Amino acid sequence: MTALKNKDRDRREKISIFDANIFLTGIDFNIFDEIIFTTPGIINEIKIKKTHRNILNKIQVAIETKKLRVRIPERKYIQEIERKSMITGDFNALSREDKDLLALALELREESDQNIRMYTNDYSIENVCSKLNIPFSPIFKEGIKKMIIWEIYCPFCKQIYNTDDLSKNCERCGSPLKRRPNRNKH
Ligand SMILES: [Zn+2]
pLDDT in tens, 67-110: 999 999 999 999 999 999 998 889 999 999 999 999 999 999 99
Helices (H), the chain: 20-23, 40-48, 53-64, 75-88, 96-111, 123-131, 144-147
pTM of the model: 0.71
Specify the pLDDT at position 36.
96
Q: Say if CB 116 and CB 109 are below 8 A apart.
A: yes
Residues 6+ apart with CB under 8 A from 101: 17, 19, 38, 39, 41, 42, 118, 120, 125
At the topology level, CATH places domain 14-143 in: Rossmann fold (3.40.50)
Spacing, Cα 168 to ligand 1 middle (Å): 11
pLDDT of residue 144: 58
How many A from CA of 156 to the centre of ligand 1? 5
Mean pLDDT, all residues of the chain: 85
Mean pLDDT over residues 33-61, rounded? 90
Ligand 1 centroid – CA 33 distance (Å)? 23
What whole-number distance in Å separates Cα of residue 186 and Cα of residue 46? 26
* Residues 102-159: tens digit of each pLDDT: 999 999 999 876 689 999 999 889 989 988 989 988 887 766 555 556 788 999 999 9
